């Protein structure tokens, strides 16, 4: 991934974790918070850290935000500040905006204002943990903006050393294997003859209905 410019506004646990992870991944990170202590704490782990009130349009304008690829507004509890700041960064021309919401209504407002993606950290994590608990083979659950989702899963024992065609995942469950990952590479269009190995992680796409049915089924096998 090429280096991108990220601005993170709000350095609670969520914002701090995103900012420092991006920085450790080699990205340019500008971190902003109204609270000077938060700025001191993060200063060594991001590219720049600035203390300011992000609802102050005039101060925000001095940052040249139009040159940033992504703004992540992680102010959660103060909905007024969260919506104001999202609107301001949108107006200032940031290409992609991620918001953090504390409720479905808050999320809806952020989408209306122009956020490209809204995260509800507790709810999203709750959904992931629940899916993982139903089946320990399921490693991750990625919801797409429709009735479809992607899952990452470890192969079932009965699939090992069989081809994708032989396990009949599409015929039996209506699910497509769209990629195979392992520690060395990712194959984004595996052939039906691909032989599944223990170290593979299968990336599968399907309707939520089919994926749920499939999860319940493999949950019972575990
Ligand atoms: P988390 O759940 O991620 O730990 P939190 O519960 O600490 O977050 P939030 O209300 O979601 O708190 O705020 C996140 C951060 O946003 C805080 O560090 C807060 O100081 C900062 N913040 C709030 N308002 C502004 C603002 N107007 N400008 C800049 N930063 C702000």
pLDDT tens digit string along 29-76? Answer: 999 999 999 999 999 999 999 999 999 999 999 999 999 999 999 998
- Domain range 137-219, CATH architecture: 2-Layer Sandwich (3.30)
More confident residue, 144 or 187: 187
Question: What residues does each domain of the chain span?
Answer: 5-132, 137-219
Which are the contacts of 105, defined by CB distance < 8 A and separation ≥ 6? none
Q: Do 5-132 and 137-219 have matching folds?
A: no
Q: Coil, strand or helix: which one is 116?
A: coil
Helix (H) or strand (E) run with residue 39 in it: helix 36-42
Cβ-count burial of 161 within 10 angstroms (0-12 exposed, 13-18 middle, 19+ buried)? exposed
Segment 11-15 mean pLDDT? 95
| Cα 13 to averaged position of ligand 1 atoms, centre (Å) | 9
pTM (predicted TM-score):
0.74
Q: What is the pLDDT of residue 219?
A: 67
Q: How far apart are CA 11 and CA 34, in angstroms?
A: 9
How many angstroms does the Cα of residue 143 sit away from the middle of ligand 1?
26
Q: Is 178 exposed, middle or buried (0-12, 13-18, 19+ CB in 10 A)?
A: middle
Q: What is the mean pLDDT of the chain?
A: 90
* 5-132: in CATH 3.40.50.720: yes
Q: What is the pLDDT of residue 78?
A: 93
Binding pocket residue ranges, ligand 1, CB within 6 Å? 9-15, 32-35, 38, 53-55, 74-78, 81
How many degrees, rounded to 5, is the angle at CA 133 between CA 200 and CA 77? 110
Q: Which residue has 């984004």 as its token pair?
A: 188
Give 43 or 219, the one with higher predicted confidence: 43
For the segment 68-85, the average pLDDT, to the nearest whole number, is 95
Cβ-proximal residues to 206 (8 Å cutoff; 6+ apart), any chain: 148, 149, 151, 173, 174, 175, 176, 214
- Residue whose CA is closest, atom 19 of ligand 1? 10
Higher pLDDT, residue 162 or 221 = 162
Burial of 138 (0-12, 13-18, 19+ CB in 10 A): buried
CA of 41 to the centre of ligand 1 (A): 14
Q: Which residues pair with 180 in a beta bridge?
A: 187, 202
């Amino acid at each position: 991934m090429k280096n991108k410019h990220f601005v993170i506004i709000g350095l609670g646990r969520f914002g701090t974790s995103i900012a420092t992870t991006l920085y450790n991944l080699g990205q340019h990170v500008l971190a902003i918070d109204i609270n000077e202590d938060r700025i001191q704490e993060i200063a060594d782990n991001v590219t720049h850290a600035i203390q300011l009130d992000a609802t102050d349009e005039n101060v925000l304008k001095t940052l040249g935000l139009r040159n940033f690829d992504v703004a992540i507004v992680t102010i959660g509890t103060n909905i007024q500040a969260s919506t104001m700041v999202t609107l301001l960064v949108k107006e200032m021309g940031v290409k992609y905006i991620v918001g953090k919401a504390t409720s479905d209504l808050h999320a809806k407002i952020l989408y209306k204002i122009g956020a490209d993606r809204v995260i509800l950290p507790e709810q999203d994590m709750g959904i992931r943990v629940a899916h993982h608990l139903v089946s320990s083979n399921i490693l991750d659950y990625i919801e797409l903006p429709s009735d479809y989702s992607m899952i990452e899963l470890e192969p079932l024992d009965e699939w090992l050393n069989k081809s994708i065609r032989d396990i009949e995942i599409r015929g039996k469950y209506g699910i497509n294997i769209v990629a195979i990952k392992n520690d060395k590479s990712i194959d984004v269009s595996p052939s039906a003859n691909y032989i599944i190995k223990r170290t593979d992680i299968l990336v599968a796409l399907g309707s939520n209905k089919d994926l749920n049915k499939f999860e319940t089924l493999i949950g019972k096998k575990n």
